């Protein structure tokens, strides 16, 4: 099946795992247009809000950058309140004529909470601290759930799970970026 622009789940893998006081978000680096790989080392995971929030995106790159900028603006408006900022962004995303056309999904996290944001207005907290998005997201999610009860830390689980997804999903590669945050102890 050929991917369509209306399919924001297609063409990347982003995974978050929250375990042992650490949250990790990782993503692969492959950018594909149809069946062609156009870039292998894109950075789809980054820090925002002065490093207090990490996020990863699946979907159109320019759209994701727009959403990151908007989220950063909301975080300036509501400092230290990721949930509030995410809900306000989701409201704008769903109701604003320009934003409504953006085709991306995001996973964002701070030291306390992880969230998945969608253009349909969803702000979802991952079950058991694990969530994946993108074409390889379900493969990475399954692997992470299987590894969650092991002695591995959050970052290692993310890296191993993304490697498993890369073995299965042709739109996922092994050029991985992982960012982590530690909870206050």
Name the percent of the chain lying above pLDDT 70: 92
CATH assignment of the domain containing 90: 3.60.20.10
Q: Does any domain span residue 4?
A: no
Domain with 166 in it: 13-35+50-182
Q: Does any domain span residue 61?
A: yes
- Catalytic (active-site) positions: 12
Q: Does any domain span residue 58?
A: yes
pLDDT in tens, 159-177: 999 999 999 999 999 999 9
Q: Does any domain span residue 104?
A: yes
What pLDDT sits at residue 100? 66
Domain count for the chain, please give it.
Answer: 1
What pLDDT sits at residue 185? 59
Q: Read off the pLDDT of each residue in 1-6 and give the average, rounded to a whole number.
A: 42
Nearest to 106 by CA among 175, 57, 47: 57
Q: Which two tokens stand for residue 71?
A: 């989220």
Q: Does any domain span residue 8?
A: no
Q: Does any domain span residue 43?
A: no
DSSP element (H, E) containing 72:
helix 61-77
Output Rg (C-alpha) for the chain, integer angstroms: 15
| Position 60 confidence tier, pLDDT thresholds 50, 70, 90 | confident
DSSP element (H, E) containing 33:
strand 31-33
In this predicted structure, the answer to whether residue 10 has a pLDDT above a threshold of 60 is no
Q: Read off the pLDDT of each residue in 57-64 and give the average, rounded to a whole number.
A: 82
Q: Read off the pLDDT of each residue in 139-152 and give the average, rounded to a whole number.
A: 97
CA distance 10 to 152: 29
pLDDT in tens, 88-126: 998 888 777 766 677 788 999 999 999 999 878 889 999
Q: Does any domain span residue 6?
A: no
**Length reported for the chain:** 185
What pLDDT sits at residue 1? 38
């Amino acid at each position: 099946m050929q991917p369509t622009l209306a399919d924001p789940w297609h063409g990347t893998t982003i995974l978050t795992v929250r375990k042992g006081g650490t949250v990790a978000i990782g993503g692969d680096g492959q950018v594909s247009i149809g069946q062609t790989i156009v870039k292998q080392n894109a950075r789809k995971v980054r820090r925002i809000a002065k490093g207090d929030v990490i996020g990863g995106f699946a979907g159109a790159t320019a759209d994701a950058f727009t959403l990151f900028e908007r989220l950063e603006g909301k975080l300036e408006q509501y400092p230290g309140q990721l949930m509030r900022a995410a809900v306000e962004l989701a409201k704008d995303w769903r109701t604003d004529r320009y934003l409504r056309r953006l085709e991306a999904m995001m996973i964002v996290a701070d030291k306390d909470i992880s969230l998945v944001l969608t253009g349909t207005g969803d702000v979802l907290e991952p079950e058991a601290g694990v969530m994946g998005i993108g074409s390889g997201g379900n493969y990475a999610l399954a692997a992470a759930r299987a590894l969650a009860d092991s002695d591995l830390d959050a970052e290692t689980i993310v890296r191993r799970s993304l490697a498993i997804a890369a073995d299965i999903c042709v739109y996922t590669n092994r050029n991985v970026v992982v960012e982590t945050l530690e909870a206050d102890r």
